Amino acid sequence: MPGLKEMILQLFLTLLPFLCYNVYYRNKAYNYSPAFILLTTGISLFLSMTFNKEAVNGFIYDARYILLFFGLLFGGLRTGFVLLAGFMVYRLYLGEPGIEIAMGTILVSFPVSILLSHLYRRVKRRPLFFVVSALLISLIPTVMLYLYNPDILQESLLFYVLYVPLLNFLGIWLLLSLFQRAVIDKNLSIEYAQKEKLETIGQVAASLVHEVRNPLTAVKGFLKLISESSGNQEKVHRYIEICVSEMERAEYILSEYLAITKPFTDRREQVNLNAILQITADVMRPYANMNNVELQLQHEDGVCRVMGNPEKIKQVLMNLIKNAIEACYDTENAVVSLTLETFDNEAFLYVRDNGIGMSREQAERLGSVFYSTKAAGTGLGLAFSYQVIQELGGSVQVRSEPRKGTEFAITLPLCEPSANAV
């Protein structure tokens, strides 16, 4: 009969999908897919059947029923049927002993698992559901074994009445409750991140209204002058040139704003950090002007290339600049400076402000989810920024003093230019 070590091993293999989920999706901006459930549950099922141990009289026991139930619940019916087919093929490969009873039991328990997966979403008393599920999943193999050979069941009644239901209950309770909680937390994180991004975009959009209104007002005025100067072709031509220039300016502002706000993708490519910094500064300058903050930009000539997602990099820069501007809300002669330098195959970006500053304890906690120095902030903007910088292979250092200002020093590895660089 399996001992404590075998029981712990089977429980660990049962929790493998949950562990893989926490590792793989920790820094992702989206949640799991049925393909992920199929892959991780399939691997867990394979390992559980491979490293099981003989239970009694040649029969083996593992966590197959728990994993098939989990695959049905979170991966859907198609995932469940693929796992069922995989189980049957591998069980045929393993051969004796007990192959007939194994096939018969799985074909009976699979429809029950489908029914339980539908009930799981409706019931409110989850602990009771776990107990009932464990009893049903344990009862089916026990009944099938009794029909196959009553003597085996009578010889090991304690094993099938106590050990099997206990293992199934622990496996179902741990795997389902932990995985469900992780999925809920991930969904909340995604929703908060999206909300924070939309709030940032909305605030910047309000400042862009003023910036776009200026060229439109100028065009309106010059069109009136054109109507009054129809006899002077030289003036009309000059006024038209000014109108075209102002409209191009408005078009540039709007196009760069749209480039900043378009949805993220998973693509990675070589990115010209100089160009993206210039674009982001141009988009954020109206927001700085609206808050009486001077936005300064200084970077070296040439091209500074890093490997990453351009949309995410723009959002990171947008978050850092916006935070720096807001830190100067009660500062006279407020200045936010952006400096980009390169040295020894690395890019160094400095975002400095002369705002309210922070204590050392506050600076050390920056980047933590749901921690913010702003009263209405969630901290997800900086958490996202830190995450993207780490994905790029970079690092962030924060230097700050209360009432003197803050400096974010970001280091990123450079890459060699390629044909598809932007």
Confidence bin at 187 (pLDDT 50/70/90): confident
pLDDT at 376: 43
pLDDT at 96: 66
Give just the sign of the alpha carbon dihedral 44, 45, 46, 51: positive
- Does pLDDT of 394 surpass 80? yes
pLDDT digits (tens, 9 = 90+) for 69-92: 899 989 989 999 999 999 999 888
pLDDT at 265: 59
Q: Is 242 left (phi over 0), alpha (psi -120 to 50) or beta?
A: alpha
pLDDT at 2: 54
pLDDT at 42: 93
pLDDT at 370: 41
Helix-strand-coil split of the chain, %, nearest 5:
65, 15, 25
Is the distance from CB of 232 to CB of 418 less than 8 angstroms? Answer: no
Poorest-pLDDT segment among 172-186, 254-268, 318-332, 347-361: 254-268
**Cross-strand bridge partners of residue 398:** 408
pLDDT digits (tens, 9 = 90+) for 208-217: 665 677 677 7
pLDDT at 196: 67
- Does pLDDT of 32 surpass 50? yes
Q: 266-413 has which fold?
A: Heat Shock Protein 90 (3.30.565)
- The highest-confidence range among 38-52, 83-97, 203-217, 239-253, by mean pLDDT, is 38-52
CA gyration radius for the chain? 31
More confident residue, 145 or 43: 43
pLDDT at 203: 63
Q: How many CB atoms neighbour CB 304 within 10 A?
A: 22
CA 176 to chain centroid, in Å, comes to 21
Is the distance from CB of 156 to CB of 141 less than 8 angstroms? Answer: no
Poorest-pLDDT segment among 291-300, 347-356, 368-377: 368-377
Poorest-pLDDT segment among 63-67, 95-99, 281-285: 95-99
Is the distance from CB of 352 to CB of 314 less than 8 angstroms? Answer: no
| Share of residues in the chain with pLDDT > 70 (%) | 80
More confident residue, 184 or 1: 184
Strand order in the sheet with 395-401: 294-299, 335-343, 346-353, 405-413, 395-401
Mean pLDDT score, 20-39: 84
Average of per-residue pLDDT values in the chain:
79
Sequence ranges of the domains in the chain: 4-192, 195-257, 266-413
pLDDT at 378: 43
Residue 372 is classified by DSSP as: -
pLDDT at 371: 41
| Share of residues in the chain with pLDDT > 90 (%) | 15
pLDDT at 16: 92
The Cα 279–Cα 301 span in angstroms is 15
Confidence bin at 18 (pLDDT 50/70/90): very high
| DSSP codes, 287-356 | HHHHTT-EEEEEE-SS--EEEE-HHHHHHHHHHHHHHHHHTTTT-TT-EEEEEEEEETTEEEEEEEE-SS
> In CATH, what is the architecture of 195-257?
Orthogonal Bundle (1.10)
pLDDT digits (tens, 9 = 90+) for 270-322: 889 998 898 888 878 878 888 889 999 988 777 788 998 888 888 889 889 98
pLDDT at 377: 45
